Structure 1
Amino acid sequence: MTTFKDSHTSTGNGHHKLSIAEILETVADGDIPLRFTAYDGSAAGPENAEYGLTLKSPRGTTYLATAPGDLGMARAYVSGDLEATGVHPGDPYEILRVMGDDLHFRRPSALTLASITRSLGWDLLRPIAPPPQEALPRWRRLAEGLRHSKSRDAEVIHHHYDVSNTFYEHVLGPSMTYTCAAYEAEDQSLEDAQENKYRLVFDKLGLKPGDRLLDIGCGWGSMVRFAARRGVKVIGVTLSAEQAAWAQKAIADEGLSDLAEVRHSDYRDIAETGFDAVSSIGLTEHIGVHNYPAYFGFIQSKLRDGGRLLNHCITRPDNRHQARAGGFIDRYVFPDGELTGSGRIITEIQNIGLEVRHEENLREHYALTLKAWCQNLVDNWDACVAEVGEGTARVWGLYMAGSRLGFERNVVQLHQVLAVKLGPKGQAEVPLRPWWKG
């Protein structure tokens, strides 16, 4: 029950004015598993709870009230109006776990909503500008071009990836890899697991010295350099100018410029053909489900007969849900991002004529990867805040911790799909059984 009963007042017309904590208790379905305190002096939940939330200002109330759900919570948290206690802002995983497992809400009746509205007052219910880290809503992004046009894709990639190379170095570690690692054991280091992921992709594609690889959405060029070190000729492509500049310098520093290059370009502008392999690691999430036929058709056109595709991307656990991401992910992390099930991805790959030879789910591996990234953010918190500001650092902590929970709970998955472009008489040019170490 609410601690500070003296915070209860009358609205002057006989109606009881609810405190902030009482409003929470009114909409909560069951016990509140954490300690909640508010700027009006009210509190709810067990006093000895390990984790807690503190609502620090009326602005935070407005964010929560005008955008119920994850978007409102994110706005209040990113702005600093909602503080989590018992966790570090670089890794709020534990409080998200408690909230996800044990904090439930019920739909309030019309009478309850009226009481809440009277208690808050109209001033707190007028929408206000969101934190500056938030992207425009989907309908307002039309000024940047149609969804998944070249111009709009470039803008949303800029929003997410051109944060700061230095910031990413702190969070991702030396591998500069912003995709799921492949762990051989839970206690393997992040760097070793990322190296293992690139080895897995390389081996599945059957690459050897002298082969030609196209890496679409190459990020900071880690797959490009991994393959080039082994004698493969590689073209990487990214829409992020900062990624491309970082990658080209890394290629030059390793003496790989005769084998590798990273272009700041849309993948659709790649003119070369006849590649032995195409890797697409963490890009399919960005291109839009309705563009899958064109995307995989483009890849097919770039492969020689017998050439292979390795598609590595986040998916939903089924093929029924809508593809669009939720409010927080769409506004703060991946504008225009879309996820679907691995079945839809496999279907589209097959429909354009590539033969799927193998697929696997690395869901638990991504949870481990995100855990490691969060630890890097915690360890380098002060430097990250100095680089990008506390609001943006909070976005990343919230996003990565929440995503870790999502992979653990099977809300999302990570699938690798291996496919081959058959020859004119159905030749696949692959061994009879899987030829790589798992």
Structure 2
Amino acid sequence: MQVAEIISDVLGEDVPVRVVAYDGSKAGPDRSDVALRILTPRAMARLVTAPGTLGLARAYVSGEIEVDGDVYEVLDAMADVALHDLSGSERLRLARTLLPVWLRHRQPPPDLEYRPPGRLHSKFRDSKAIAHHYDVSNRFYEWVLGPSMAYTCAVFPTADATLEEAQAAKHELVAQKLALEPGMRLLDVGCGWGGMVMHAAAEHGVKALGVTLSRNQADWAQAEIERRGLAGLAEVRHLDYRDAPESEFDAISSIGLTEHIGKDNLPSYFASLYERLRPGGRLLNHCITQPRTPTRKLDAFIARYVFPDGQLEPVGHLVSVMNDAGFEIRHEENLREHYALTLAGWCRNLEEHWEEAVAEVGIGRARVWRLYMAASRLGFERDNIQLHQVLGVRLDDRGRAGFPLRGW
């Protein structure tokens, strides 16, 4: 059987993109502007042990599959292809067909595939998981994220706003929801490179503390705080959120941390943040969520190459757990379209700095990022994942929230 026929079995009869294989066979429409090129039998051997997206991703990361054109366009064209819907009998037939290829060309998974050691969501294992993704190269992140160094969903005031304008708008939206005023104390858990911490200090006169499990992030952020002359108000520490100071804060922001917590730890997570707030203090939780129940496991490629141990929950579950921890929920909104725009900006940045990025982190890791950001953009556009901000308040002993009757 020719390679193109096998790929057609995996992708479906109506292959939406052009497929060109090393044996000269072809599939899909000749008029397609984008194409998958199967360069080596090793790519086919990957499909024996991982018949779906994981096998294809392994082959792409390893350079055994190449894409002609934009990766996002290929994924968009293939978005309706049921890669995960191969029946057991179809998987068995595929494995039998490819068995001779697998015996001659089998390869171990790429070295970039990672599963952290230790007990799930222990401090030790969480630190390893975070280091795997974030302690790559600050220079690489500067190229991808841009000057804001904000690695979370931006908020676009207009469709043509720049990525930097949208990241500043995101930080200001969080500040407004938290009602930040001069003299307040803010705790930002999972603070990344300190964007929210520095915004709160510079724009609102807030004494802000950020904590992150990434040593690279903490070092970069603290140096940037010094450079901006914000050392009197802002600080970032290399610290687990569970070890953050327990004194009363006026406000807490959690922007992109909850995805790393784990479902079983959510009650203790929100309870710990509740205890760190003064009565009347607010929590803004900003995180990626699943759009519906029952939930699905994190995509195997994302779980093994990008966010080890990451878990996404529906927003309804997060709201319930926050409520059970003592928070009164005051506001919630879905920003998934904004995250698609954010990822489009990061994808452009990576392509503009592709040669430098490859030289800095290697071709394999650069390919991981190209693939995962394009796939994530599509996921937000197609409502396979969402981004929710949930605002809660710790009421005072008389049940007062301190909110105006309308508006912020």
**Match of residue 247 from structure 1:** 221
**Match of residue 128 from structure 1:** 107
1:381–1:148: structure 2 CA closer, same or farther, 3 Å change rule? Answer: same
**Match of residue 12 from structure 1:** none
**Is 330-339 or 26-35 further displaced after alignment?**
26-35
**Match of residue 197 from structure 1:** 170
Deviation at 1:128, TM superposition (A): 2.7
Deviation at 1:80, TM superposition (A): 0.5
For these two proteins, the number of residue pairs brought into alignment is: 407
- Corresponding position: 1:63 with 2:46: yes
TM-score, length-scaled by structure 2: 0.96
- Identical-residue share of aligned pairs (%): 55
**Match of residue 282 from structure 2:** 308
**Is 38-47 or 210-219 further displaced after alignment?**
38-47
**Is 57-66 or 161-170 further displaced after alignment?**
57-66
Q: Which secondary structure state, in structure 2, belongs to the residue aligned with residue 319 of structure 1? A: coil
Deviation at 1:231, TM superposition (A): 1.0
Q: Is the 8 A contact 2:335 2:387 kept in 1?
A: yes
Q: Is the 8 A contact 1:319 1:344 kept in 2?
A: no
**Match of residue 324 from structure 2:** 351
Gaps of 5+ in 2: none
Q: Distance in 2 between matches of 1:325 and 1:115?
A: 24
Q: Distance in 2 between matches of 1:112 and 1:101?
A: 19
**Match of residue 387 from structure 1:** 360
- Corresponding position: 1:216 with 2:195: no
Q: Distance in 2 between matches of 1:84 and 1:40?
A: 17
Cα deviation, 1:381-402, whole Å, max 9, x if unaligned, reads 1111111011111111111110
Q: Is the 8 A contact 2:184 2:207 kept in 1?
A: yes
Cα deviation, 1:216-244, whole Å, max 9, x if unaligned, reads 00000000000111210011000000000
Q: Is the 8 A contact 2:44 2:102 kept in 1?
A: no
Q: Distance in 1 between matches of 2:274 and 2:216?
A: 29
Larger radius of gyration: 1
**Match of residue 51 from structure 1:** 34
Deviation at 1:116, TM superposition (A): 6.0
- Give the counterpart of 1:34 among 7, 17, 28: 17
Compute the RMSD of aligned alpha carbons.
Answer: 1.8
Amino acid at match of 2:368: V
- Corresponding position: 1:99 with 2:75: no
Q: Distance in 1 between matches of 2:9 and 2:199?
A: 56
1:207–1:390: structure 2 CA closer, same or farther, 3 Å change rule? Answer: same
Q: Which secondary structure state, in structure 2, belongs to the residue aligned with residue 226 of structure 1? A: helix
Q: Is the 8 A contact 1:171 1:377 kept in 2?
A: yes
Cα deviation, 1:4-36, whole Å, max 9, x if unaligned, reads xxxxxxxxxxxxxx1111222344433212211
Within a 5 Å distance, the mapping from 1:122-161 to structure 2 comes to: 123-124=102-103, 128-136=107-115, 141=116, 144-161=117-134
Gaps of 5+ in 1: 1-17
1:103–1:45: structure 2 CA closer, same or farther, 3 Å change rule? Answer: farther
Amino acid at match of 2:52: G
Amino acid at match of 1:377: L
Amino acid at match of 2:200: A
1:26–1:177: structure 2 CA closer, same or farther, 3 Å change rule? Answer: closer
Q: Is the 8 A contact 2:52 2:84 kept in 1?
A: no
TM-score, length-scaled by structure 1: 0.89
- Corresponding position: 1:289 with 2:268: no
Q: Distance in 1 between matches of 2:280 and 2:87?
A: 59
